[in-house]
């Protein structure tokens, strides 16, 4: 049986086509803002082409993500934590929690017995947009995300930015640059502020286990952020390959039953 | 849509309640033309002054939010321009913003207050209630204390607190007589205290009946009746009658398994005022077969509750012997009967040490599966200790959802779509899909 | 001056050393309505809990919507900075501080703790009786905890030490009235903040010494524009120092952690508890207690005139509800009297660039007053 999952996020969308538990193809693209439905069609079509399939070959499509209703051809829709949980269990059977850090949301899903979910914690508004914030700050600093990702994780120096609000953080960062603080130091201060916010969410209800916690989502690809988060939280995250496709994978698995 | 599990039907007594609310609104609107005094605040003895109407900014702000978001925003901006913190209580900003503008939403003149007697403080905002009209134009303001203490019962400590409250109340009444040349009608006041005590048993029964599965009423029904007590001070007899009618009807519903939500399969509670401009989220939850059985706030219409020794949830006796063993003969007797004899704890500060656990007893008694605890960024009394209460409920196995907004009367920061998404996540992550679209 | 800065910045170390030296206990408090004299009379060091600016990823679990002051105190408790505290007292002030008090106790239920009701209607005829009753209960609670009675003579001594501190601080503040002051706003503020975390007797010795040294200082003619600071409580002098770097000086404040802390004394009477009650109910009102008979506007105006300020900075902490509600009246009064003011909101950190821009613009606007006034 061939199934598919499509995860439509605020910035990017991902598609996974699955057959008998094996990934046949993946597709990705920008969410396209107001033209999301069109972007969905494009990515879907690219994924099918990569798999050498036509739409009728796919038995069931499930959509997830904030833009799940823009997947007009989906047979059903599931919320993101449900998709994340399914993907995490599939990839790592002993997992107890999964943390998803995307462009605009941070989610912690604590798994219960069997297929159940014990708890879901999502960021409040002040911690929204951490992924988008990181991207925007990279532009301000004149660095690429890859350059930021390669920064070594030292404990934070004297340079600090507001860790409560990204608007204030950006103003603090500009102030630091204005006073000739090296941009790498400013970048580290920004990373520290981001991981303080994320760690706050991890502390909210049930603290994830130090081992057996999976990290997924686009920001999981940024090594500097991940290392800082490991240091700050004490959690040794397990990061799957293609971590940003976890939501789509989970949806495809749910479609398979 | 699947066949309903339980029978549902609308409340008969609701039409009577609507009539009473309309009468109250009219009395406020005509206050200026009828040369009556308008007091900002909420006091239980206002019936003693026939020409006095009391009006709180809470329901005014809530009704404004419900009626017109556009006008509410204009009012809030008017307040901010004059110095109000952006994060101050939306009820106040709505109401006093209209005062600064000079008119209400329908264009009619803003009913200026003649005096301020703020409802004693469940929150910092309440403590400063009525500061705006008093600072705006020189009118008298009388703040009472609301003394309370935590810890083991201490009758000496209580005595000083009760005496203070009795003195303040007597003083305020005398000052109104002096300043406004009004005569306080002791007989009418004493009679109302004797009669108003009659509401409580009916309200307590209504509250208790909602522990039944299926719940005969939902939170929306409670809100319709909740403010009646405050709105109908002019006619306590009628108020008691309507509560009796409600009680009898709800008892019948329990006996016949008439439900508020026909597909009830999930019971949830909430805290504090909801977003008054977005009450449709109750209906949204009903699509999942989830009924809101109320909150500590809405059930407070029945007075304070507690867990009894036998483990049942029942009314907490705070009024002591007045009205029961001792006859109420004088103005002071009536005031003492109103105030009660206990100063230990208070509804929102009910022994702060145990407040984080206060919801657990309620959740157990009402057999809830989940709790929605809003986080109102601008509502200090609404939000204080909510996160901790959420943790304590989670420990008990109740699933908790937090969502953010400005304040129940301020639509600004409430992302309605995000809230609906959060509700979907909350329900689906508990294995529940919608029963209807 | 460095000694005050040292005590303030290393206040945890100070308290730990005090405990080692004296063998005494330390009680932390949140609001300035706590009757410190009674605590001191019991041989306990009362310490005002002040926020620091530390990244916070632990308080969201228990708090939402709190001001940074209250939130950061919990942050510090959770991180163990206040591990030397033996107990907590909350005298009814604002709700966020009450929340911080309770939340900390939920984490540390074994700490000694006491709640004192302080009337919001401070001027009521029976309010002083309620306050006195509360102080009586509090005194008993301390006696039970320490196992020692608090005698009248203990109270008299404590009252005298505290009154001396208040007089000495007033002397320092009086020096700021001079056209060419010898003490800067940041220095004076550090002194009053330090006094809230130090043993008052020791503080008094330092103060006497500092006042003597200040008498030898050359008056400064370069302090520039004279500013008054009002608003929410503070815990450091970042704003004062910023202002000084821009050609201005804060000559007076009406802050809970500033002048309001020491402004009035306990007037002795045979009923010591009543004397203390009257002092705390009669102090310059916190915004939350300034209700029926508005005293803040007149007090602010008087200070403004006495200290010959040119303008007022209103720095409110975001989510500070009492000050947010008081603002409209304060603005109205300042406008009616043509007093220039600048209002802004602060948060956990003072955003340097933005605040610098605001202060610079305001100060430049007032510079002509240096010539005209």
Q: What was the pLDDT predicted at A74?
A: 96
Chain A, 78 to 97: residues with Cβ < 8 Å from chain C are none
Dmax (CA) of chain B: 66
Between residues B18 and B75, the one the model is more confident about: B75
Chain length of chain A? 257
Q: What was the pLDDT predicted at B19?
A: 75
Q: Is B215 within a domain?
A: yes
How far apart (Å, rounded) are the C-alpha atoms in residues C164 and C77? 32
Given a cut of 50, whether residue B227 has pLDDT beyond it is: yes
φ/ψ of C226, rounded to 5, equals -100, 125
Bridge pairing between strands A106-111 and A97-101:
antiparallel
Say yes or no: C110 contacts chain B, CB-CB below 8 A: no
Touching subunits for chain A (3+ Cβ pairs under 8 A): B, C
Given a cut of 90, whether residue C76 has pLDDT beyond it is: yes
- The residue among B173, B132, B115 whose CA lies nearest residue C294 is B132
Residue C357: its chain A contacts at CB < 8 A? none
Share of chain A above pLDDT 90, in %: 68
How far apart (Å, rounded) are the C-alpha atoms in residues B322 and B361? 28
Per the structure, the count of domains in chain B is 1
**C94: distance to nearest CA of chain A, Å?**
23
Overall average pLDDT of the A155-173 stretch: 78
Nearest residue of chain B to residue C141 (CA atoms): B151
Q: What was the pLDDT predicted at C173?
A: 97
B353 pLDDT tier (thresholds 50, 70, 90): very low
How far apart (Å, rounded) are the C-alpha atoms in residues B412 and B73? 8
Which stretch of DSSP H or E encloses residue A76? strand A76-77
* Cβ-based neighbour number of residue B155 at 10 Å: 11
Q: What was the pLDDT predicted at A24?
A: 94
One domain for residues A87 and A97: no
Overall average pLDDT of the C238-244 stretch: 94
Domains and their CATH numbers in chain C: 9-150 (3.40.50.11890)
Q: Is B101 within a domain?
A: no
Q: Is B83 within a domain?
A: no
Is the Cβ pair A120, B425 closer than 8 Å?
yes
One domain for residues A142 and A231: yes
* Cβ-based neighbour number of residue B200 at 10 Å: 16
Vertex A147, ends A141 and A152: CA angle to 5°? Answer: 105
What's the DSSP call for residue A159? Answer: -
How far apart (Å, rounded) are the C-alpha atoms in residues B220 and B278? 12
How far apart (Å, rounded) are the C-alpha atoms in residues B366 and B360? 10
B25 pLDDT tier (thresholds 50, 70, 90): low
Give, in order, the Cα–Cα distances in Å from A80 to each of A5, A123, B292, B374, B415: 11, 14, 25, 22, 18
Given a cut of 80, whether residue A125 has pLDDT beyond it is: no
- The residue among C113, C108, C50, C117 whose CA lies nearest residue C87 is C113
Token pair 């598609």 is at which residue? A15
- The residue among C107, C81, C87, C109 whose CA lies nearest residue C30 is C87
Chain A, 128 to 187: residues with Cβ < 8 Å from chain C are 160, 162-165, 168, 171-172, 174-175, 178
One domain for residues A104 and A87: no
How far apart (Å, rounded) are the C-alpha atoms in residues C73 and C349? 14
B131-160 pLDDT, tens digit each = 888 888 889 988 888 888 877 788 888 899
Q: Is B109 within a domain?
A: no
Which tokens in the block code for residue C302?
């008087």
How far apart (Å, rounded) are the C-alpha atoms in residues B409 and A32? 35
One domain for residues A205 and A81: no
CB C43 within 8 A of CB C147: no
ipTM: 0.90
One domain for residues A108 and A228: yes
One domain for residues A146 and A215: yes
Lowest mean pLDDT, pick from B44-48, B176-180, B308-312: B308-312
Token pair 């940041």 is at which residue? C186
B79-83, B234-238, C302-306: which has the highest mean pLDDT? C302-306
* Segments forming the whole domain that contains residue B253: 7-12+197-304+347-428
A129-138, B277-286, C134-143: which has the highest mean pLDDT? C134-143
Given a cut of 90, whether residue A99 has pLDDT beyond it is: yes
Q: Is B341 within a domain?
A: no
Given a cut of 60, whether residue B2 has pLDDT beyond it is: no
**A120 vs B375, B390, B429: nearest CB:** B429
Share of chain C above pLDDT 70, in %: 99
- The residue among C81, C105, C83, C92 whose CA lies nearest residue C33 is C92
Overall average pLDDT of the A13-21 stretch: 95
**B390: distance to nearest CA of chain A, Å?**
9
C249-288 pLDDT, tens digit each = 999 999 999 999 999 999 999 999 999 999 999 999 888 8
Q: What was the pLDDT predicted at C273?
A: 97
- The residue among C35, C94, C40, C37 whose CA lies nearest residue C70 is C94
| CA pseudo-torsion sign C117, C118, C119, C125 | positive
Share of chain B above pLDDT 70, in %: 85
What's the pTM? 0.90
Which tokens in the block code for residue C45?
């060091």
- The residue among B170, B120, B116, B173 whose CA lies nearest residue B140 is B116
Per the structure, the count of domains in chain A is 2
One domain for residues A27 and A136: no
* Segments forming the whole domain that contains residue A128: 93-239
φ/ψ of A82, rounded to 5, equals -65, -40
How is chain C split among helix, strand and coil, in percent rounded to 5?
50, 10, 35
Give, in order, the Cα–Cα distances in Å from B55 to each of B192, B223, B232, C317: 18, 18, 11, 31
Q: Is B249 within a domain?
A: yes
B211 pLDDT tier (thresholds 50, 70, 90): very high
Overall average pLDDT of the A210-236 stretch: 93
Q: What was the pLDDT predicted at A41?
A: 93
Token pair 């398979």 is at which residue? A256
What's the DSSP call for residue C183? Answer: S
Q: What was the pLDDT predicted at B323?
A: 53
Nearest residue of chain C to residue B389 (CA atoms): C62
Q: What was the pLDDT predicted at B385?
A: 83
Overall average pLDDT of the C35-62 stretch: 93
Please state whether the peptide bond connecting residue B214 to the residue before it is cis, i.e. omega within 30 degrees of 0: yes
Q: List the beta bridge partners of residue A186.
A: none
C88 pLDDT tier (thresholds 50, 70, 90): very high
Between residues B14 and A223, the one the model is more confident about: A223
How far apart (Å, rounded) are the C-alpha atoms in residues A40 and B206? 52
Give, in order, the Cα–Cα distances in Å from A86 to each of A218, B212, C247: 18, 36, 62
Hey, of A67, A78, A164, which one would you mutate to test binding to chain B, going by the most B CBs within 10 A of its CB? A78
Give, in order, the Cα–Cα distances in Å from C105 to each of B349, C87, C94: 15, 9, 17
Q: Is B108 within a domain?
A: no
One domain for residues A108 and A129: yes
Is the Cβ pair C347, A178 closer than 8 Å?
no
Q: What was the pLDDT predicted at C102?
A: 85
Please provide the distance, in angstroms rounded to a whole number, between the alpha carbons at the two ends of chain B. Answer: 8
C330-347 pLDDT, tens digit each = 999 999 999 999 999 888
**C353 vs A178, A203, A232: nearest CB:** A178
DSSP line for C19-53: HHHH---EEEESSTTS-HHHHHHTT-EEEE-----
**C294: distance to nearest CA of chain B, Å?**
9
One domain for residues A201 and A226: yes
One domain for residues A200 and A213: yes
B24 pLDDT tier (thresholds 50, 70, 90): low
How far apart (Å, rounded) are the C-alpha atoms in residues A99 and A108? 5
One domain for residues A117 and A226: yes
Overall average pLDDT of the B85-103 stretch: 88
Q: What was the pLDDT predicted at C109?
A: 86
**B264: distance to nearest CA of chain A, Å?**
22
B352 pLDDT tier (thresholds 50, 70, 90): very low
Which tokens in the block code for residue C121?
């209607």
Pinpoint the alpha helices (H) of B256-327. 280-286, 296-299
* Cβ-based neighbour number of residue A138 at 10 Å: 19
CATH code, A63: 3.30.420.40
Overall average pLDDT of the B8-13 stretch: 89
């Amino acid at each position: 049986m061939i199934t598919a999952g499509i995860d439509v996020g605020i910035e990017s969308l991902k598609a996974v086509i699955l057959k008998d538990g094996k990934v046949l193809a993946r597709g990705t693209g920008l969410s396209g803002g107001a033209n999301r439905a069109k972007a969905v069609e494009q990515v879907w079509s690219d994924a099918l082409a990569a798999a050498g399939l036509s739409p009728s070959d796919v038995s069931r499509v499930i959509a997830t993500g904030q833009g799940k209703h823009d997947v007009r051809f989906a047979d059903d829709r599931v919320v993101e934590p449900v998709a994340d949980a399914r993907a995490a269990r599939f990839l790592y059977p002993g997992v107890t929690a999964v943390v998803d850090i995307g462009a605009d949301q941070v989610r912690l899903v604590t798994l219960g017995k069997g297929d159940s979910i014990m708890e879901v914690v999502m960021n409040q508004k002040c911690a929204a947009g951490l992924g988008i914030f990181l991207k925007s700050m990279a532009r301000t600093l004149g660095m690429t995300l890859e350059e930021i990702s390669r920064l070594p994780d030292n404990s934070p120096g004297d340079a600090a930015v507001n860790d409560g609000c990204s608007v204030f953080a950006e103003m603090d960062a500009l102030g630091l640059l204005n006073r000739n603080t090296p941009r790498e130091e400013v970048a580290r201060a920004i990373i520290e502020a981001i991981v303080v916010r994320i760690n706050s969410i991890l502390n909210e209800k049930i603290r994830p286990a130090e081992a057996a916690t999976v990290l997924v989502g686009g920001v999981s690809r940024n090594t500097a952020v991940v290392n800082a988060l490991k240091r700050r939280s004490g959690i040794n995250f397990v990061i799957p390959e293609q971590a940003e496709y976890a939501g789509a994978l989970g949806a495809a698995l749910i479609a398979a039953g | 849509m699947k066949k309903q599990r339980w029978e549902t039907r609308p409340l008969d007594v609701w039409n009577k309640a609507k009539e009473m609310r309309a009468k109250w609104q009219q009395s406020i609107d005509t206050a200026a033309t009828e040369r009556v005094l308008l007091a900002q605040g909420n006091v239980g003895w206002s019936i003693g002054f026939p020409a006095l109407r009391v009006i709180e900014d809470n329901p005014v702000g809530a009704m404004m939010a419900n009626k017109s978001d556009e006008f509410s925003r204009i009012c809030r901006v008017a307040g901010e321009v004059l110095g109000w913190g952006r994060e101050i209580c939306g009820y106040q900003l709505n109401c006093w913003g209209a005062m600064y503008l000079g008119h209400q939403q329908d264009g009619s003149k803003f009913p200026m207050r003649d005096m301020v007697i703020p409802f004693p403080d469940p929150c910092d905002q309440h403590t400063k209630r009525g500061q705006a009209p008093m600072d705006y134009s020189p009118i008298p303001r009388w703040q009472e204390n609301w003394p309370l203490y935590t810890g083991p019962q201490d009758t000496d400590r209580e005595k000083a607190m009760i005496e203070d409250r009795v003195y303040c109340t007597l003083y305020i009444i005398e000052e109104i007589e002096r300043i406004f040349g009004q005569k306080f009608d002791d007989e009418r006041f004493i009679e109302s205290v004797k009669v108003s005590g009659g509401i409580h048993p009916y309200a307590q029964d209504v509250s208790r009946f909602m522990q039944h599965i299926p719940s005969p009423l939902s939170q929306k029904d409670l809100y319709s009746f909740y403010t009646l007590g405050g709105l109908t001070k002019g006619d306590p007899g009628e108020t008691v009658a309507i509560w009796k009618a409600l009680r009898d009807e709800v008892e019948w519903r329990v006996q016949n398994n008439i439900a508020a939500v026909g597909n009830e399969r999930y019971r949830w509670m909430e805290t504090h005022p909801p977003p008054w401009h977005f009450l449709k989220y109750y209906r949204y939850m009903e699509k999942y077969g989830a009924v809101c059985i109320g909150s500590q706030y809405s059930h407070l219409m029945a007075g304070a509750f507690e867990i009894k020794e036998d483990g049942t949830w029942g009314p907490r006796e705070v009024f002591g012997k007045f009205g029961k063993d001792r006859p109420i003969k004088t103005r002071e007797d009536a005031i003492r009967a109103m105030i009660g004899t206990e100063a230990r704890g208070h509804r929102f500060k009910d022994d702060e040490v145990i407040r984080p656990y206060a919801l657990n007893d309620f959740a157990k008694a009402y057999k809830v599966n989940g709790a929605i605890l809003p986080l109102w960024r601008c509502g200090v009394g609404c939000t204080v200790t909510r996160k901790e209460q959420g943790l304590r409920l989670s420990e008990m196995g109740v699933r908790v959802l937090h969502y953010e907004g400005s304040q129940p009367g301020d639509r600004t920061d409430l992302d309605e779509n995000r809230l609906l998404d959060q509700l979907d996540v909350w329900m689906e992550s508990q294995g529940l899909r919608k029963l209807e679209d | 001056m460095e000694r005050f800065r040292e005590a303030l910045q290393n206040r945890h170390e100070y308290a730990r050393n005090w405990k080692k030296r004296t063998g005494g206990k330390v009680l932390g408090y949140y609001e300035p309505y706590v009757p410190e004299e009674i605590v001191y009379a019991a041989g306990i060091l009362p310490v005002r809990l002040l926020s620091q600016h530390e990244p916070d990823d632990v308080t969201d679990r228990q708090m939402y919507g709190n001001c940074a002051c209250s939130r950061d105190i919990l942050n510090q408790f959770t991180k163990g900075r206040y591990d030397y505290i033996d107990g907590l007292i909350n005298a009814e002030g604002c709700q966020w501080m009450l929340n911080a008090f309770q939340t900390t106790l939920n984490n540390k239920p074994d700490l000694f703790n006491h709640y004192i009701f302080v009337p919001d209607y401070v001027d009521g005829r029976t309010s002083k009786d309620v306050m006195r009753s509360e102080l009586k209960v509090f005194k008993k609670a301390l006696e039970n905890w320490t196992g020692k009675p608090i005698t009248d003579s203990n109270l008299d001594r404590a009252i005298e030490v505290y009154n001396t501190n208040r007089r000495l601080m007033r002397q320092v503040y009086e020096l700021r009235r001079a056209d060419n002051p010898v003490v800067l706003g940041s220095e004076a503020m550090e002194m009053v903040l330090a006094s809230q975390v130090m043993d008052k007797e020791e503080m008094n010795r330092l103060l006497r010494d500092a006042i003597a040294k200040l008498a030898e200082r050359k008056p400064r003619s370069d302090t520039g524009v004279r500013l008054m600071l009002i608003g929410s409580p503070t815990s450091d002098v970042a704003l004062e120092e910023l202002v000084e770097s821009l050609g201005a000086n804060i000559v007076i404040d009406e802050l809970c952690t500033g002048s309001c802390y020491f402004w009035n004394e306990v007037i002795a009477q045979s009923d010591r508890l009543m004397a203390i009650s009257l002092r705390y109910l009669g102090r310059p009102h916190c915004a939350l207690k300034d209700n029926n008979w508005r005293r803040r506007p007149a007090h602010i105006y008087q200070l403004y005139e006495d200290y010959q300020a040119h303008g007022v900075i209103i720095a409110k902490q975001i989510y500070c509800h009492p000050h947010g509600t008081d603002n409209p009246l304060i603005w109205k009064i300042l406008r009616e009297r043509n007093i220039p003011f600048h209002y802004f909101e602060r948060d956990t950190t003072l955003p340097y660039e933005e605040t610098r821009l605001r202060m610079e613009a305001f100060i430049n606007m007032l510079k002509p007053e240096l010539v005209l006034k």
